[in-house]
């Protein structure tokens, strides 16, 4: 099965193509495989030659966190209905409809998300299978029901409000899912089945959950495992992404966000440092006043009334400056305004000194 060729007309795959999941609590990983059952068995036993549609190992929880959400029903509109119509029109019109659906499914496949990849290949393969039947009308209904059941989970409200449904937002604890709950009321008995495989030769611990026509039982299986393990969903305080962790201590989802956070901290520090500059400027200004007053005191013949005036102005300056600094701390004044004022004040004392020199 070559996925690149999947969305054009070819001989259908007659075997069951299944979606398989292995959860690794210890490594906090999930492995998802899709393909023929026999190939998945090979893959689970470490055979690198297994021909799989996809085989990805990701962080635990990703399946639930990234699960396809399609409230507009695009899968139905652009993926399934054109193929259903193609089964009912004359053969000259078929290629156009196949192309439309093929383009949609290829795009979904190209995202490399295993859920989308599996659904895209299954939809196409069901179509190809249905084309083989003589009694196309009956077969086409069955085809639509089947792939409609598979993509139905994409329209589940679970994945529209996943923050509230997957976990308790206060505690972060994963929630158990019951297939009888509101979200799953539409699910037929047939679509609640899940298989558990224990394929391990070397490592008999491996438990592989497998579904075929419905994602619903996989969602329930996954959510219940996480809840049983007491794992917690956290929201990254940098990017807002949800991720799974052993405890709520983890506030940042990835190395990338950790770096972004460090950069942000540095920026905030620099901004604070810049704001504190006005204080330094004020202290320098005071020192400059004191120096000038001292020099005046030491200067022979410096007019006493001028000196008194300088001391007076300096006291007023300090008093006003303290008031303004308080305003800045209360965010009622910008540090820049204060610095501009300091700058103006420095010319006041210069004026007093120079006045006395003119005499
Ligand atoms: Zn993040």
DSSP labels, 74-124: HIIIIIIHHHHHHTTS-TTTHHHHHHHHHHHHHHHHHT--HHHHHHHHHHH
Rounded to 5°, angle at Cα 36 from 35 and 41: 95
pLDDT at 30: 96
pLDDT at 337: 87
Question: Average of pLDDT values for 289-314?
Answer: 88
Strand ranges inside 1-64, DSSP E: 17-24, 29-36, 54-59
Flag the least confident range among 138-147, 165-174, 185-194, 267-276. Answer: 267-276
Flag the least confident range among 153-157, 163-167, 255-259. Answer: 163-167
pLDDT at 185: 64
How far apart CA 138 and CA 146 sit, in angstroms, is 13
| Position with higher pLDDT, 339 vs 59 | 59
pTM above 0.85, yes or no: no
How many other C-beta atoms can be found within 10 angstroms of the C-beta atom of residue 356? 18
pLDDT at 37: 93
Distance from the alpha carbon of residue 57 to the mean position of ligand 1, in angstroms = 20
Distance from the alpha carbon of residue 258 to the mean position of ligand 1, in angstroms = 8
Is 152 a residue whose pLDDT tops 80?
A: yes
Nearest-10 crossing angle of helices 94-110, 114-131: 160
How far apart CA 194 and CA 179 sit, in angstroms, is 12
Distance from the alpha carbon of residue 252 to the mean position of ligand 1, in angstroms = 5
Flag the least confident range among 105-119, 208-222, 228-242. Answer: 228-242
Flag the least confident range among 181-185, 234-238, 264-268, 331-335. Answer: 181-185
Question: Average of pLDDT values for 179-204?
Answer: 76
pLDDT at 133: 83
pLDDT at 99: 94
pLDDT at 359: 44
Question: Average of pLDDT values for 143-160?
Answer: 87
Distance from the alpha carbon of residue 257 to the mean position of ligand 1, in angstroms = 5
What would you report as the CA-atom Rg of the chain, rounded to the nearest whole angstrom? 36
pLDDT band at 101 (very low <50, low <70, confident <90, very high): very high
pLDDT at 1: 47
pLDDT at 40: 94
Question: Average of pLDDT values for 43-57?
Answer: 91
Distance from the alpha carbon of residue 237 to the mean position of ligand 1, in angstroms = 7
pLDDT band at 62 (very low <50, low <70, confident <90, very high): very high
Flag the least confident range among 80-94, 140-154, 309-323, 331-345. Answer: 331-345
Distance from the alpha carbon of residue 113 to the mean position of ligand 1, in angstroms = 19
Q: Which two three-digit tokens encode residue 87?
A: 């089964």
pLDDT at 187: 79
pLDDT band at 3 (very low <50, low <70, confident <90, very high): low
Element (H, E) at 197: strand 195-197
CB 209 within 8 A of CB 221: yes
Q: Give the contacts of 306 (CB within 8 A, at least 6 positions apart).
A: 296, 352, 355, 356
């Amino acid at each position: 099965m070559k996925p690149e060729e999947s969305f054009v007309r070819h001989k259908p795959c007659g075997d069951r193509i299944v979606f398989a999941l292995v959860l690794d609590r210890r490594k906090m990983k999930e492995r998802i495989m899709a393909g023929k059952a026999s190939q998945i068995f090979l893959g689970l036993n470490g055979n690198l030659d297994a021909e799989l549609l996809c085989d990805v190992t990701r962080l635990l929880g990703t399946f639930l966190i990234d699960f396809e959400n399609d409230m507009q029903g695009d899968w139905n509109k652009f993926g399934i209905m054109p193929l259903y119509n193609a089964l009912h029109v004359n053969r000259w019109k078929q290629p156009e409809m196949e192309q439309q659906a093929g383009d949609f499914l290829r795009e979904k496949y190209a995202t490399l998300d295993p859920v989308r990849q599996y659904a895209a290949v299954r939809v196409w393969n069901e179509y190809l299978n249905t084309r083989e039947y003589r009694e196309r009308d009956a077969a086409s209904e069955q085809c639509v029901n089947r792939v409609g059941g598979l993509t139905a989970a994409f329209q589940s409200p679970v994945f529209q409000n996943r923050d509230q449904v997957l976990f308790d937002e206060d505690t972060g604890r994963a929630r158990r899912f019951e297939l009888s709950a509101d979200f799953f009321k539409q699910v037929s008995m047939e679509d609640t089945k899940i298989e558990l495989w224990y394929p391990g030769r070397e490592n008999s611990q491996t438990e592989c959950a497998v579904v075929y026509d419905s994602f619903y039982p996989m969602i329930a299986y996954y959510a219940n495992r996480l809840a049983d393990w007491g794992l917690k969903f956290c929201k990254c305080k940098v990017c807002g992404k949800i991720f799974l962790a052993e405890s709520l201590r983890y506030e940042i989802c990835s190395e990338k966000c950790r770096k972004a956070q460090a950069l942000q901290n540095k920026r905030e520090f620099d901004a604070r440092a810049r704001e504190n500059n006005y204080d330094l400027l004020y202290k320098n200004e005071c020192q400059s006043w004191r120096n000038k007053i001292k020099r005046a005191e030491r200067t022979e013949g410096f007019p006493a009334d001028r000196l008194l005036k300088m001391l007076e102005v300096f006291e007023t300056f300090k008093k006003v400056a303290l008031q303004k600094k308080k305003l800045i701390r209360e965010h009622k004044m910008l540090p820049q305004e204060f610095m501009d004022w300091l700058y103006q004040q420095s010319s006041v004392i210069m004026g007093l000194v120079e006045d006395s020199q003119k005499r």
